[in-house]
Structure 1
Amino acid sequence: MFWGTRKLLEALATSHPLVVIFDDIHWAEPTLLDLIEHVADLSRDAPILLLCIARPELLERRPAWGGGKLNATSILLEPLTEGESKDLIANLLGQAQLDDAARARIIESAEGNPLFVEEMLSILMDQGLLLRTNGHWTIVGDITAVKIPPTIQALIAARLDRLQGEERQVIEGASVVGQVFYSGAVTDLAPEAVRPSVPRHLTTLVRKDLIRPERSESLSGEETYRFRHILIRDAAYQAISKETRAELHEAFADWLARITGDRVSEYEEILAYHLEQSYRYRADLGPVDDRATSVAARAAQLLASGGRRAFARNDLPAAVNLLERAAALLPPNDIGRLELLTDVGLALLESGEYSRADVVLAEATRAAEASGNERLKAHATIASLRVRLQTNPEGVAEESLHAAERIIPLFERIEDHRGLARAWGLVAWAHQFRLRAAERLDALERALEHARRAGDRREEVECLFYLTSPPMRGPMPVSQALPFLDAIQEQARGDLKVESGVLWAKAMLEGMRGRFPEGREMAARSTAICHDLGMGMFAAVNDAEALGFLEVQAGDLIAAERAVRRACEILESGGERSWLSTLAADLALILCAQKRYEEAGRFVELSRETAASDDINSQAEWRRARAKILANEGSLDQAESLAREAVALVRDVEGTFSHAPALSDLALILRQAERPEEAVEVLREALRLYELKEDVVSAERTRRLIEEISATGRG
């Protein structure tokens, strides 16, 4: 959604500058604010002005918007001065003149609020003290005795109180629909005796400037209207009793479902909101009867459907919001609620909100155990293990494999293909810890098959996304990996998340081929897509892995350090440990290459502290970095011992990504220890692995080093 909106605005701005106005965004949902921020932060080379109008309380939610944000300026609108208020009154009344006392009372009460001035003049019109004759306003009678309410809310409420009974019923029904409403809906919500008069009453409300005709097309062909100000809608709504609100919200949901017909799925979230409100008011009034329970169930079903669609398109804030609301509407032991809690936990995991995910999934696990439902317990277990793999990974890879051995037969027996997709996905994560590329590839392909059999687009996309890693990290030669990735992208049918994974892998493969400009462009596009999709934490990891490798290959250690250091900071602040342990070791290696050994030591310790004992890559990489530090200090025996430990950890790993660099580091220590023959022998093994992978850059670098050591006969 973010990417598509930004691209649309950029396209519209190609022919001429574009101004986009967002009004009253202090009432906006977090996702809309994130979208505005996304466009402001990432739009480039497009003349777009985002004009956001809001009350100062917006800054409580987005403090950075008040100042200091790049490409942004804040303008605080001061209240109208006394002179400006006089001008406003004069412009509104034209030739009619208020006496000084009446004008002063209005200006003093308004305190610079132009809406207050307008509404006060509207009260005078409602009371017949201001009449329009011959195109001009004329004062009739004594207006100095008119009581002026103390606040804008009281002022609007006073205007509504003066409406006739049927007019009041019409505007209250409209307020339930929303700021924009439809004449057909208002007619349906009105008492049966009032329905024939609804068009006439709407015309009256337009004349009284409480509502205005709206140009947007109606759902069912009848006229559309808008409240002149949201405060008018709020005041009308607040005047309705809770019991009546409950009835009207349910009635509007029924009308909307009926009028949209085959397109009802497009309006599920609106339907869900109104049913949810209906249930909430019934629950407030108590007790919760069968009808209230039925309304809650309808709302939960619609919210769950919308939440899962949001999850599938990677709108994570919306997914969490909708799924949590759906779960909250269902009884504690309801099977649907337990399924929703697992989905909420997974959405929070994807969002990087690990602590919240842990709490939600712990509740899901307890509830599933209490219910005795083995299927739900298995789903909750898989999701909980996925969170722990990121936040507390010690021993979790082994535990995940054992759990999968128990769970997969259960899911096979009951033909839960969605569960099987998740279980095999968990197996794939465990194999990633152990750098088993072939086993991981097999697990992901099994997961993909079950996701498709389940018809679960989100699980399918997840599998395709993670399938982009084994061809790059594993033994598959570059010439085979590139078409393999093209096939994955073709299967994804335009999914942006999968495209970001394909570009990430291709960027690193291009780095192996020495095509650095192409690789940098792919890495930048991949990271930009992650940002577009709201995957902020993953975007940082994506950038660190792709650019960290690519720039080291290209010899730009400063650029590599910048990308990896930024990711480490984001991961550490977010409580993530799995990626952090690997990237901290990567950063230590980059710093060692710059001879900044003391600083590198700090990141070696960070990696050691956060790495799980069975996280092969992290365990090998921090040993490599520590060995370099020891060698620089002259402790060559200790350095060699650690370097050999690193080689032993990755010796049986398929491919070159971890094994060949560990061999190269060991060879450099042997060279420093004046054992050139051994160094050359180790380097030749590294060269063999690089050539099998078709990593021409690393292979050429290794050949030169072999020639150099062979020519000198010593380090």
Structure 2
Amino acid sequence: MIPGMDAEIAYLFRHALLRDAAYQLQLPGDRARLHGIAFEVIEAGSGGRPPEPPPLDATEERAFQPHAADPVAHELAEHARLADRPEEPGGRLKSRLLYLRRAAEVAERRFRLEAAQGCWRELAGIAEGTVRAEALRRAGTAAAMRGRPVEAEPLLRESSLLFRGHGKRKLECRALGNLASVFWQTGRLKESEGAHEEALATARAAGDRRAEGVTLGNLATVFQETGRIEQAERTLDEALALDRESRNRQAEGVVLINLGGIYLHTGRIELAERTHETGLAIFREIGDRRAEGEALGGLATIYRVTGRLEEAERHYGLAISIHREVGNRIFEGVALGNLAIVCLDAGRPVEAEAMHERALGIHREVGNRRSEAISLGNLAVVYEQRGRMSEAEVAHKKALAIHRETGNSRFEATTLGNLAILYHRTARLERAEKDFERALSILRELSDRQFRAVFLWRYALLSLERGRVAEARRDWRRAATFLLEMRNSGEHRTAVSEMQAACKRAGVLPFDE
């Protein structure tokens, strides 16, 4: 016996070695026959061969039909591969294609995205034509969903080109839409918009109203991200009508959540909350756990903005739990960052900093440049509150550079506003005024009442300090009205407290009298 090794472990070790040696001693043809026997025995013991599924490259998606062989589908695919004999190459190809597909689909349903990606890649390696193209698309989609955009992009590019070459316009549209989402994920908004526009033209040329609705909904997110808020809302309304016409409940839910985001940023808080709740109900109705997690995060943000911190923390926690369950690393990072903001608002800055660092690590891991910049900016706010002004300024400037690189106008404005606050606190009043004015100008263009109110009352206090009392009173009152309309009671309390202290220092009556 091997010294220091448990007898049972030693037996298992020797058994594995002997089994491997016995296997290697078999001639290739005999090994293939053994795998063929294993395939037949396992298949027979697992309910027999599953019914032939609809073609993988069918334009209409069909619901997956489970089978008793699903738990051993990948094992059966591997036995089919190894059962091929030199004198009869490809004899088990049909079986291998069947079970690789089932293994990939089962892995998708169980949120084992890395396994799904591997199975689709393997299937693409042995398939031809549009079946290969669809397998590549599914592999690329799995890679994107698990936060691997660098792996996803070449798969989706090849898939869309193959579909185009075979004249499969509807399937090409699907692949282009997936590719556009990867561009969005990596902060390449111009490329994302171009790919979505191409997908939209393809869907319309093919007369595919369902795909047109989905594509319009995705294109609207680019419009929103680049500051075209009215165009985004109009496009989402158009997408919603098409989704309802084609009875696409999943896409309808996504559009409702995105509309809720626009309503929130433009100050229509009650409508935002109702719309989010409707979208969440749809995802629960159709059993879409991934989308349910994302919707819970959106609802939590509404609770945070309106000062309901306990509800916000609870809903972010639920969202994070689902993101981890389904392997959604991208939105796990987003929700962690948002939960960190709640921690800071609740007076737990040490916890907030650690959580922002974790979120930042996830964003960098998955290549999410947009969220990386947002987390850097939020981390800078924590540094500032903890008195680390130099670190805060560096982090804000890094965030600002990425926002400008990725075309994220809204968060460019918020970062400028946060820099202005920092400059004000460090007595650099001219720089503070310049950045406040630029931030407020962008937010006005975006019709963003949420952040405009936050920075407007702070700008009012800077105006007061610089002797512009009437202007300061006007701007502060306008901001306070916005905050009350948006039910942002926490921010309103802060605005009142800081205004009263500033007015006392300046020797003027408080602005709320």
- Same fold at TM > 0.5: yes
* Correspondence for 2:30: 241
Deviations 1:628-680 (A, max 9, x none): 34334543222211211111111133443322223234234323434333223
* Correspondence for 1:584: 376
* Correspondence for 2:275: 484
Higher RCO (CA < 8 A, seq sep 6+): 2
Instruction: Report the residue type matching 1:576 in the other structure.
Output: N
- 1:490 and 1:387 map into 2 onto residues whose CA distance is 27
* Correspondence for 1:326: 123
1:113 paired to 2:10: yes
Task: Check conservation: 2:417, 2:435, Cα contact below 8 A.
Answer: yes
**Corresponding residue to 1:336 among 114, 119, 131:** 131
1:348 paired to 2:348: no
**Corresponding residue to 1:266 among 67, 80, 84:** 67
* Correspondence for 1:357: 152
Of stretches 494-503 and 695-704 in structure 1, the one that deviates more from structure 2 is 494-503
Deviations 1:189-212 (A, max 9, x none): xxxxxxxxxxxxxxxxxxxxxxxx
Which sections of structure 1, spanning at least 5 residues, go unmatched? 1-76, 89-111, 117-150, 161-233
Of stretches 462-471 and 335-344 in structure 1, the one that deviates more from structure 2 is 462-471
- 1:589 and 1:661 map into 2 onto residues whose CA distance is 14
- Deviation of 1:352 after TM superposition, in Å, equals 1.1
Task: Check conservation: 1:299, 1:326, Cα contact below 8 A.
Answer: no
* Correspondence for 1:412: 204
- Deviation of 1:444 after TM superposition, in Å, equals 5.1
- SS of aligned partner of 2:445: coil
- 2:152 and 2:419 map into 1 onto residues whose CA distance is 35
Task: Check conservation: 2:223, 2:232, Cα contact below 8 A.
Answer: yes
* Correspondence for 1:139: none
- 2:92 and 2:28 map into 1 onto residues whose CA distance is 22
- 2:16 and 2:351 map into 1 onto residues whose CA distance is 56
Matches within 5 A, 1:631-710: 631-710=424-503
Instruction: Report the residue type matching 2:116 in the other structure.
Output: A
**Corresponding residue to 1:533 among 315, 320, 326:** 326
Instruction: Report the residue type matching 2:98 in the other structure.
Output: R
* Correspondence for 1:280: 81
Which sections of structure 2, spanning at least 5 residues, go unmatched? 53-63, 509-513
- The structure in which a higher percent of residues are helix is 2
Task: Check conservation: 1:674, 1:714, Cα contact below 8 A.
Answer: no
- SS of aligned partner of 1:352: coil
- 1:455 and 1:282 map into 2 onto residues whose CA distance is 45
Deviations 1:676-696 (A, max 9, x none): 332232222222322222222
- 2:118 and 2:338 map into 1 onto residues whose CA distance is 31
- Deviation of 1:427 after TM superposition, in Å, equals 0.9
Change in CA separation of 1:622 and 1:516 when aligned onto 2, cut-off 3 Å: closer
Matches within 5 A, 1:166-245: 241-245=30-34
* Correspondence for 2:104: 307
Deviations 1:88-125 (A, max 9, x none): 9xxxxxxxxxxxxxxxxxxxxxxx82458xxxxxxxxx
Task: Check conservation: 2:229, 2:447, Cα contact below 8 A.
Answer: yes
1:298 paired to 2:98: yes
Larger radius of gyration: 1
* Correspondence for 2:57: none
Instruction: Report the residue type matching 2:483 in the other structure.
Output: Y
> Between Structure 1 and Structure 2, how many residues are aligned?
491
* Correspondence for 1:543: 336
1:562 paired to 2:357: no
Instruction: Report the residue type matching 1:359 in the other structure.
Output: P
* Correspondence for 1:383: 178
- Deviation of 1:604 after TM superposition, in Å, equals 1.7
1:79 paired to 2:35: no
Deviations 1:525-568 (A, max 9, x none): 222222233223421221212441x3454454444433323312
- 1:311 and 1:428 map into 2 onto residues whose CA distance is 27
- Deviation of 1:348 after TM superposition, in Å, equals 1.2
- Deviation of 1:472 after TM superposition, in Å, equals 3.9
- 1:326 and 1:463 map into 2 onto residues whose CA distance is 33
- 1:156 and 1:288 map into 2 onto residues whose CA distance is 26
* Correspondence for 1:603: 395
Instruction: Report the residue type matching 1:326 in the other structure.
Output: L
**When the two structures are superposed, what TM-score results if normalisation uses the length of structure 2?**
0.80
Task: Check conservation: 2:290, 2:328, Cα contact below 8 A.
Answer: no
Task: Check conservation: 2:224, 2:232, Cα contact below 8 A.
Answer: yes
Task: Check conservation: 1:620, 1:649, Cα contact below 8 A.
Answer: yes
Cα RMSD between the aligned structures?
Answer: 3.9
Deviations 1:234-256 (A, max 9, x none): 79999972442464366457644
Task: Check conservation: 1:257, 1:264, Cα contact below 8 A.
Answer: no
- Deviation of 1:322 after TM superposition, in Å, equals 3.1
- 2:177 and 2:239 map into 1 onto residues whose CA distance is 13
- 1:319 and 1:451 map into 2 onto residues whose CA distance is 28
- 1:702 and 1:631 map into 2 onto residues whose CA distance is 15
Deviations 1:570-602 (A, max 9, x none): 323443211111221222233334442200122
Task: Check conservation: 2:221, 2:258, Cα contact below 8 A.
Answer: no
- 2:309 and 2:167 map into 1 onto residues whose CA distance is 56
- SS of aligned partner of 2:66: helix
Task: Check conservation: 1:643, 1:662, Cα contact below 8 A.
Answer: yes
Instruction: Report the residue type matching 2:153 in the other structure.
Output: D
- 1:556 and 1:153 map into 2 onto residues whose CA distance is 54
Instruction: Report the residue type matching 2:114 in the other structure.
Output: P
Of stretches 362-371 and 528-537 in structure 1, the one that deviates more from structure 2 is 362-371
Matches within 5 A, 1:66-105: 78-80=4-6
- 2:36 and 2:257 map into 1 onto residues whose CA distance is 46
